Structure 1
Amino acid sequence: MTNERKETFGSLGISPWLVETLQAVAIQEPTPIQKGVIKKVLEGADCIGGAKTGSGKTIAFALPILEKWARDPFGTFAVILTPTRELAIQIDEQFAALGAPMNLKHILVVGGMDMVAQAIALSKRPHIVVATPGRLADLIRSNGEETYASLHRTQFVVFDEADRLLSPTFADDLDDCLEVLPPPEKRQTLLFTATMTDAIRALKDREPHPGKPPLWLYEVDTEGVSIPESLEQHYLLVASHVRDAYLVQLLSSPENEDKSVIVFANRTYTVELLYRMLRLLDFRVTCLHSEMAQRERVNSLGRFRAEAARVLIATDVASRGLDIPSVKMVVNYDIPRDPDDYVHRVGRAARVGRFGESVSFVTEHDVDLIHAIEDRVGKQMTAYESFSENKMLEKLKQINEAKRKVSLELVDEDFGSRRKKLKEKRMMMASKVQTTRKHSARHSKKKASVKTKKSL
């Protein structure tokens, strides 16, 4: 019988001050993804880390970055890019907590906040920059060299939720960000994702940059089943015109009335409608969607984290990366069209081995989508049994009245007009950028020579 040495953060090369900080936030032992990549990052390798949601990927890149930074805390040391504001906020909070004993200077660069203040903060050479590509690219385009000069010497560039960042949606913004960051041979590049795509795996086959170790790829459970083992997946057959009543009954049933729940819908209008309706029905509820101002989004998420609200109604802006340990149930009010989106949604429950459950409302239009999801996760959902249709019918009149009142409010407020205006503004800005690029030799040269995936 052999005695295998138990891996600890200390044995992975993490200093005592960081280990103590981890213990202070109740992190005692490294997870598999942390065991698999931390040593390699400390050795100087570029790294691709693939692991299912809730597996500790943020800590896997934050620890080695802080470990190396503490040896030479000078200038902007790392830039972490991530697709959503909410995920950026969460990553920034984790760096703040872990780096507090060493007076880490960190900034958050996301949309919905004062660009002037962000430009000033960036010019002061923070140690860590956590950003969404769009806002960082806006700062680079809108300001002079003195604002972003410290980015030229960045030691680490991290792509969190890399599968989304490397999609065409972010291509132009990433190109502008990468142009001011050091070339790949002069920095460490770390990519982390819960969805390991063929395009990301293909990066492993590239020749290593001169003087650097080969790129290290480490995967934990990214093939096949990406659903936490402690998650129970259920379906509930519903008629599409009474989904609201099913939701109210589900949330108010004795089995669920004390649970912290995230309800996902596909459209911002649906999220706002459900939020206002549930609030009228005296639920402790909040919401999260792209038409909310940044301050509202932060406050809403803060209320849910603090359990001042027990129900969060959200679009997919809340489906990736957010770690809220209290979440016990995820409800798919709308079925997502992409099975991977389902994986990310239900992964908000059952974080790091905790028990959780998901309930997906399946209407007459959703059968094919459910089959695609079951094929993706390699497991069939089971019928949700704890449901009383009789009690639901008793509340139907009250629910319909609340929904009718809220629908009229949304019409009166012209809900969605802000989204239209933002879309028009983005189109105008994109048009201006394209015009500038056509008439700029610098951008013409960049178009021919700089491509996002070649810059990794």
Structure 2
Amino acid sequence: MADDDGMLVNFDLGSGPARASNKGGSGRWTDRLKQKKQAQHRERREAGEGVRGYSVKAAVREHNVAPPERVEEEVFVSRAPGAGMGTKRKRDDGEEGEDHPPAKATGASKQVISSLFTYNPESHIPAKPSTAPAVGPASNAPMHDSAFGPLKIDSRLCTHLENKMSITAPTSIQSNAIPYLLDQKDKHDVFIQAQTGSGKTLAFLLPIVHRLMQSRKDRSSRSSGVFALILGPTRELCQQIYSVLEVLLRCSGAYWLVPGLVIGGEKKKSEKARLRKGVNILVATPGRMLDHLENTKSLDVSSARWLVLDEGDRMMDSGFEETLNKILNIVNERSGASKGAWLEQGLPKRRVTVLCSATIKAGVEKLGQDALKDTVYVKADDHVDGKFASGANAAEFSAPAQLDQQYSIVPAKLRLVTLGAALKNMFVTKRAARTGDSAANKAIVFFSCADSVDYHFKLFTRSLDGKVETEDSDAESDNDEDEDEGEDDGEKKEKKVMKKKTSPADAAIAKAPVLNGTNPPILHRLHGSLPQHIRQQTLAAFTKNTAGAVLFCTDVASRGLDLPDITNVVQYDPPFAVDEYVHRIGRTARAGRKGEASLFLLPNEEGYLDVIKRGIGAEPRSVANEELLRKVFPGKRYDWELAATEWQLAVEKWVLASPTTLDLARNAYKSHVRAYATHVAAEKSVFNVRNLHLGHIAKAFGLREAPGGMQRKKARKEGKDEGENRVESYKSDRMLKKAMEAMNSEFNVPKSVR
């Protein structure tokens, strides 16, 4: 070849396919940046570099959950009070996620997956070693060296208490209060102050029943009128008082006494029918009592000799002051006329008023001044005639000495997984299995709002396949046949209608396999928004349950209810006022039994411990949240942290799987934040909503959305609806205008004229 210059070129093209060449200076800058990242990723993959350690993205991929958009791991840094917005940290671990296409989540916007154990605010209280609970001898137990006989209680009542109610000895408050209520002179009204669970209900019921049994009853019957009015702040408390009264009146000498209950939640026609037949001892809520006094002519209170105001502090807190004043005025006007001379035998010549309260606040003191005359002030340890405690002592209260009080400082992101660990520890740990008492554990968990109760109930009753394990209560299934035998056709028809009205959303009893897969405890929920028949069935089922059981509730169950054999109380959300704290923990350690009460606090809520110490004179002992987690998620540090993270991610996956569940979580989060802002003014410095990290709070509800995103989405939806309505209104006005123009047109000639 003539043109061959003799140059030999040696190129090694390799065995792989040729790659497209991209010039660095061509295209848009976003395309060049994308090409650069792809090249870097390809080089790392060819070099054999794997993922560095455990990442949240890897865990998400294992759970087959990813958002519709690109998932960025953002960790929000907690901010101190008064500081600016927390900074964000983005971590790129080099994963593109091309091999695993994301599964589109229903109804979710851009998601944030943050680590549970990073950027959590630290506690300012130095860590204390875990110590054994310092509990003393029971302060509310019956006095075994005493009996009801020396108190001059009817012997038939004493025998009935021992044989039918298993009560052989009075408590301290009963020993101090009963003699004043049995005094034939009846010169004094009585104020009873005692810690919760000390037996205040029998302290006023026993003297009333005793004196009615001792009166001349040859002319007495259920139509003789109402002898005693007993008012309680909640339906549940009134139902409980009525249940105790029913058992007490089964005594042989009290066969003619008829109890009654009017608390609402049913038709007034049915209540009027019972009152028309006659009632001797009436238990009622203030609102329903005033309604019947004003509108039910058959309600005769002219023979009333006792008026009992139970849980007076709660009634004043609930805004019943005006209602109670109206009731007092009506009863005073109608109680002057006596129905017969036989009432003089054994019954008070004047109406005796009894006020019961665990605390003495300004509202209770005012109620006592309005309702009581010549007051005898009775406590469990002593009594003071004619005066109330005042000043600093008025707000103080006491807790049972045998109660083990605990608190845990739990960062917001760890609240949900720590609650799961605490509950699981009660029913499935080796300690519970070794002691053999796990099946008998009964716990109450207090939440701040009804939406939070509903969400956590559904969360902990989900099964492995995501369904809810429903459980028929005894009130609904076991006794249906026995109840139907004693009912007429009308009652059966009404009962069937009520069952049809009970939708699956009203189900308040279900198994909780999340807490124990082999022997799941029964979970119950209770709050004021549930229908009355559901609330009654839930309380009855929880009370009868002798196996493992948990009750998720609001403060509707914190006052007065004597739920038997409660071993644990968990305050997941702190109470709205300090006096509510003692009522919550008083659901356990009752009648001399031991109990355990724990409180969850955020790192910025540590000042609440000083409030508790001033109120009860003792500070709960500290239990680290890591200690609770390690008991359920054993192993080395990174092992139990990984297990806790997987538990949390499984919850987040469950939340994203259903639009209904997602809306439930959102509503619970929003209601929780709103409820947090309602703490009393004296505790605003501790519970300040401005100090909350809303992103971390959302994490505690299994949400991956930024709180601001939820608000913007709601605003966009409302704006869209408003715009659609505006367009529809404009179209309607335009069509109406055209119709009017057509009718008034000169060319619109009627057919008759044509």
Asked if residue 40 in structure 1 is aligned to residue 191 in structure 2, the reply is no
Deviation of 1:406 (Å): 7.7
Distance in 1 (alpha carbons) for counterparts of 2:659 and 2:614: 37
Q: Tell me the equivalent position of 2:442.
A: 260
Distance in 2 (alpha carbons) for counterparts of 1:413 and 1:249: 20
Q: Tell me the equivalent position of 1:300.
A: 538
Structure 1 SS opposite 2:320? helix
**Greater Cα shift, 381-390 or 79-88:** 381-390
**Greater Cα shift, 300-309 or 23-32:** 300-309
Distance in 1 (alpha carbons) for counterparts of 2:645 and 2:301: 60
Percent identity over the alignment?
Answer: 31
**Greater Cα shift, 245-254 or 380-389:** 380-389
Q: Tell me the equivalent position of 1:453.
A: none
Work out which of the residue numbers 660, 676, 683 in structure 2 matches 1:408. 660
Q: Tell me the equivalent position of 1:95.
A: 245
Deviation of 1:241 (Å): 3.1
Q: Tell me the equivalent position of 1:388.
A: 629
Q: Tell me the equivalent position of 1:158.
A: 308
Q: Tell me the equivalent position of 1:278.
A: 460
Letter in 2 for 1:153: S
**Greater Cα shift, 250-259 or 325-334:** 250-259
Asked if residue 16 in structure 1 is aligned to residue 16 in structure 2, the reply is no
Q: Tell me the equivalent position of 2:577.
A: 338
Q: Is the 8 A contact 1:7 1:30 kept in 2?
A: yes
Asked if residue 357 in structure 1 is aligned to residue 529 in structure 2, the reply is no
Structure 2 SS opposite 1:323? coil
Structure 1 SS opposite 2:524? strand
Deviation of 1:170 (Å): 0.2
Q: Is the 8 A contact 1:9 1:19 kept in 2?
A: yes
Q: Is the 8 A contact 2:233 2:311 kept in 1?
A: yes
Structure 1 gap ranges (5+): 420-456
Asked if residue 313 in structure 1 is aligned to residue 452 in structure 2, the reply is no
Within-5 A mapping of 1:21-420: 21-24=160-163, 25-43=165-183, 44=186, 45-72=188-215, 74-101=224-251, 102-103=254-255, 104-141=257-294, 143-144=295-296, 146-148=297-299, 150-167=300-317, 169-182=319-332, 186-197=350-361, 200=364, 214-220=374-380, 224=396, 226-253=398-425, 254=429, 255=431, 257-258=438-439, 259-281=441-463, 282-283=511-512, 284-307=522-545, 310-384=549-623, 386-389=627-630, 390=640, 392-404=644-656, 408-409=660-661, 411=663
**Greater Cα shift, 230-239 or 214-223:** 214-223
Distance in 2 (alpha carbons) for counterparts of 1:234 and 1:319: 18
Distance in 2 (alpha carbons) for counterparts of 1:38 and 1:179: 27
Distance 1:199 1:334, change over 3 A: closer
Deviation of 1:367 (Å): 2.2
Q: Is the 8 A contact 1:276 1:406 kept in 2?
A: no
Higher helix share: 1
**Greater Cα shift, 173-182 or 193-202:** 193-202
Higher strand share: 1
Aligned-residue Cα RMSD (Å) equals 2.9
Distance in 1 (alpha carbons) for counterparts of 2:329 and 2:152: 32
Q: Is the 8 A contact 1:49 1:191 kept in 2?
A: yes
Q: Is the 8 A contact 1:235 1:383 kept in 2?
A: yes
Structure 2 SS opposite 1:387? helix
Distance in 1 (alpha carbons) for counterparts of 2:445 and 2:459: 13
Distance in 2 (alpha carbons) for counterparts of 1:42 and 1:77: 15
Instruction: State the aligned residue count.
Output: 406
Q: Is the 8 A contact 2:189 2:372 kept in 1?
A: no
Distance in 1 (alpha carbons) for counterparts of 2:322 and 2:585: 31
Normalized against structure 2, the TM-score is what?
0.50
Distance in 2 (alpha carbons) for counterparts of 1:305 and 1:333: 22
Distance in 2 (alpha carbons) for counterparts of 1:346 and 1:78: 31
Deviation of 1:7 (Å): 4.0
Deviation of 1:191 (Å): 0.7
**Greater Cα shift, 90-99 or 12-21:** 12-21
1:160-181 deviation per Cα after TM superposition (whole angstroms, max 9, x unaligned): 0012224470023223322331
Letter in 2 for 1:191: L
Distance in 2 (alpha carbons) for counterparts of 1:263 and 1:93: 24
Structure 1 SS opposite 2:301? helix
Letter in 2 for 1:91: I
Structure 1 SS opposite 2:290? helix
Distance in 1 (alpha carbons) for counterparts of 2:548 and 2:658: 20
**Greater Cα shift, 307-316 or 188-197:** 307-316
Structure 2 gap ranges (5+): 1-143, 336-348, 382-388, 433-437, 464-510, 513-521, 631-639, 672-754
Structure 1 SS opposite 2:379? strand
Q: Is the 8 A contact 1:244 1:399 kept in 2?
A: no
